[in-house]
Amino acid sequence: MIDWLLLFSNAAQEIISPTTAAYALAALGLAVHFGFTGLLNFGQAGFMMLGAYGFAISTLTFGWPVWAAVLFGVGASIVFALILGIPTLRLRADYLAIVTIAAAEIVRLLFTTNSFEPVTGSANGLQGYKGGFAALNPIPEGTYGFGPWVYNEYDWWVRIFGWSLVAIAALITWRLFKSPWGRVIKGIREDEDAVRALGKNVYFYKMQSLIIGGVFGSLAGVIFILPRSVVPSNYQTTLTFFIYAILLLGGAATVLGPIIGSVIFWVLLSFFSGFIARAVEVGWLPFLSNVQAGQLRFILVGLAIMLIVIYRPQGIFGNKKELAFVK
């Protein structure tokens, strides 16, 4: 029989899991790009990858402390944003889409190739970079929590660190888009020419937005690798599409939307995947194998993206007047 309690408990764990936090932060970065500025960044996986590898490589290869390693990842993503932005921000929106998706793939291929194996670990990726981060943990050793949320001190430390970053990023975003700067950015989304006519340098504003969202992405990459190891195959374009699904679910031009979208997305996905897997085991779905059940989640995410964009483009929390899709 299906153990419903286990399914619910697994789904409930996703509410505060570091993966949820990482996706929420990456989606928030994408909200800055896509929701507020109207930039079609399809390379968020690349920003996350640079954050993750920047952190891991500077810890393992250079032996840097945690703060320097995080800054290195952030720096790498700023450089990446500049490289992407300089050729494309003057062009029409879909050029940026093609270039960012291509650039993210370039980054992934560079980290996957055998040529840089001593530094990147090629397809096997990297591990063993968590020592410095674990040493900063103020929580004494032991197991804490209640209900489904019982973790050891490292797992709690990762969760606290991850969600604090999400909270800080959300506060920054909220302040930014209440400021004059944010109004200019939203103006660019609505009508670039009008903003240009007011004497603003649209190009620079877009570049700043690309950098801010990219930095959020790279920090999300750091959170993402704390409970697991860095493996290049995690950063395929599918990752970016998942983040888009989260963003569209929550509402593209909102601050809380991406965060709550990420929680809803992961709770539903965990519950549904668990349910299908169990249902296959107990023979409710005789036409599916276990492997096929695992693929069903991608099909559902794809369908969800289509249906949300067609029927509720503003997402759950979005305001219909503030649609991200203007052109």
Partner 1 sequence: MAHAASRPLTRRAPRRLAAVLLAGLVAALTFSVAAPAAANEVGLDEFDFKISGLVELADEPLAGVGLSIDGNGFSVEVESGADGRWAVGVPERGDYTVTLDEETLPEGIAVVETTQEGDETPNSRDVTVGQSGSTVLNFFIGQGERNTTSLLDQVLERLFNGLNFGLLLALAAIGLSLVFGTTGLSNFAHAELVTFGGLMALLFGTVFGLPIWLAIPIALILSAGLGYVNDAALWKPLRRRGMGLIPMMIVSIGLSLAVRYLYQMFVGGDTRQLPGATDTTLSIGLFGLTWTDVASMGISVVVLLGVGYFLLRTRIGKATRAVSDNPSLAAASGIDVDRVIRIVWVMAGGLAGLSGILWAYFRPGVSWDMGFQILLLTFAAVTLGGLGTAFGALIGALIVGMLVELSTLIIPSDMKYVGALVILILVLLVRPQGILGRKERIG
Residues that bind partner 1 (CB under 8 A): 40, 83, 86-88, 90-95, 97-99, 101-103, 105-106, 109-110, 112-115, 122-124, 238, 241, 244-245, 248, 291-292, 295-296, 298-306, 309-310, 313, 325-327
Nearest CA among 12, 10, 9, 17 for reference residue 160 = 17
Shortest distance, position 181 Cβ to partner 1, whole Å:
24
Residues 6+ apart with CB under 8 A from 301: 241, 242, 245, 269
Task: Give the residue with the Cβ less far from partner 1, 114 or 141.
Answer: 114
Residue 183 or 327: the one with the smaller Cβ distance to partner 1 is 327
User: Which is nearer to partner 1, 90 or 183 (by Cβ)?
Assistant: 90
Rounded to 10°, the helix 44-60/93-112 angle is 30
Residue 42 or 163: the one with the smaller Cβ distance to partner 1 is 42
Nearest to 42 by CA among 112, 103, 109: 103
CA dihedral 215, 216, 222, 223 (to 10 degrees): 170
Do residues 39 and 210 touch, judged by C-beta distance below 8 A? yes
What minimum distance in Å lies between the beta carbon of 287 and partner 1?
A: 10
Nearer CB in complex with partner 1: 10/122: 122
In the complex, what is the shortest distance from the CB of residue 323 to partner 1, in angstroms, rounded to a whole number? 9
Among residues 97 and 316, whose Cβ is nearest to partner 1?
A: 97
| Shortest Å distance, C-beta 91 to partner 1 | 5
For residues 108 and 185, give the distance between their C-alpha atoms in angstroms, rounded to a whole number.
Answer: 30
CB of 211 vs partner 1, minimal distance in Å: 18
> For residue 132, which of 75, 74, 76, 67 has the smallest C-alpha distance?
67
Which residue, among 76, 85, 34, 317, has the nearest Cα to 204 in the 3D structure? 85
* Phi and psi angles of residue 29, each rounded to the nearest 5 degrees, phi first: -60, -40
Q: In angstroms, what is the minimal distance from the CB of 151 to partner 1?
A: 25
For the bound state, the minimum distance from the C-beta of residue 28 to partner 1, rounded and expressed in Å, comes to 18
Determine the Cα–Cα distance for residues 35 and 28; give it in Å rounded to an integer. Answer: 9
CB atoms within 10 A of CB 318: 20
Residue 4 or residue 204: which is nearer to partner 1 going by CB?
204
As a whole number of angstroms, the distance between CA 72 and CA 200 comes to 31
For residue 226, the 8-state DSSP code is S
